[in-house]
Amino acid sequence: MPILDWPLERRPRERLIREGATALTDAELLAIFLRIGVPGKDAVQLGQEMVHHFGSLQGLFGASLREFSAINGLGPAKFAQLQAVMELARRAMLEEIKSGQALGSPKAVKEYLRILFRGHACESFHVLFLDVKNRLIEVREMFRGTLTHTSVYPREVVKAALACNAASIMLAHNHPSGTPDPSESDLLLTRALVQAMALVDIRILDHFVVAGHQVHSFAEHGQL
């Protein structure tokens, strides 16, 4: 039965307006995003298939266009819409952090980084530049590709930090496939950057490694 033929109290969109988004299941939220289903499946059933196919929302959000389009009824248009929604979420979180209210909470920073790296198929190295009050000045991607201690040049990070007039920085990169446990190259790179930044009296507050929903903090594990 098409969703439009459901009783009003059961329809996802009406329930969201009445009860709030948190009252809906993942499949119901996806149904609102999808708007319509496919022959033989309403939008909620299609949403359930998406979650089941990818195993989780993280899996869905990280899917490539080819993987996304493997489900009947999904294609470039819906993929582009989903990417736009995720980018809006990233920018909204960045606005919150730039307001200076979120950096006091490590949990909020980690959540921002999860969103920032969501869907990245290759390793990406970012630097968060902070002022003397630990407010965010800028987030900049410094390198993309296979990360080693020689592929990110400390002098480039130093130059960028000085150009931003940063008092301190945070480092962040992702492990697209695997665990957030830092590699030996990650440890070597961090030590090199700590030494380089110390020469210009700029502190590295933390280095985060993101793998899906998991985030490893160097500071929390005494690795800085």
The CB density around residue 197, as the number of other CB atoms within 10 Å, is 20
CA 218 to chain centre: 18
User: Measured over all CA atoms, what is the biggest interatomic distance in the chain, rounded to whole angstroms?
Assistant: 68
Per-residue pLDDT of the chain (224 residues; tens, 9 = 90+): 566 667 666 788 888 998 888 888 999 999 888 888 888 888 888 899 999 998 888 788 878 889 999 988 888 999 998 889 888 887 887 777 666 655 556 777 887 888 788 767 778 899 999 888 888 888 899 887 765 544 678 889 999 999 999 999 999 999 887 788 888 888 988 999 999 999 999 999 999 999 878 899 998 888 88
Instruction: Note the pLDDT of residue 150.
Output: 44
What homologous superfamily is domain 104-221 in, according to CATH?
A: Cytidine Deaminase, domain 2 (3.40.140.10)
Tokens representing residue 77 in the block: 């248009």
CATH class for domain 3-91? mainly alpha
Query: What phi-psi label fits residue 165: left (phi over 0), alpha (psi between -120 and 50 degrees) or beta?
Result: left
What is the DSSP track for the chain?
--GGGS-GGG-HHHHHHHH-GGGS-HHHHHHHHH-S-BTTB-HHHHHHHHHHHHSSHHHHHT--HHHHTTSTT--HHHHHHHHHHHHHHHHHHHHHHHTTSSTT-HHHHHHHHHHHHTT--S-EEEEEEE-TTS-EEEEEEEEESS--TTTS-HHHHHHHHHHTT-SEEEEEEE-SSS-SPPPHHHHHHHHHHHHHHHTTT-EEEEEEEEETTEEEETTTTT--
Domain ranges of the chain: 3-91, 104-221
Taking the complete model, does pTM exceed 0.95, yes or no? no
Dist. CA 128–CA 141, nearest whole Å: 9
Q: What angle do CA 40, 46, 47 make, to 5 degrees?
A: 160
Q: Which pLDDT belongs to residue 149? A: 46
Tokens 């307001």 map to which residue?
A: 99
CA distance linking residue 162 with residue 155, whole number of Å:
10
The dihedral sign for the CA sequence 77, 83, 89, 95? negative
Q: Please report the pLDDT score of residue 147 as a whole number.
A: 54
Q: What values do phi and psi take at 49, rounded to 5?
A: -65, -40
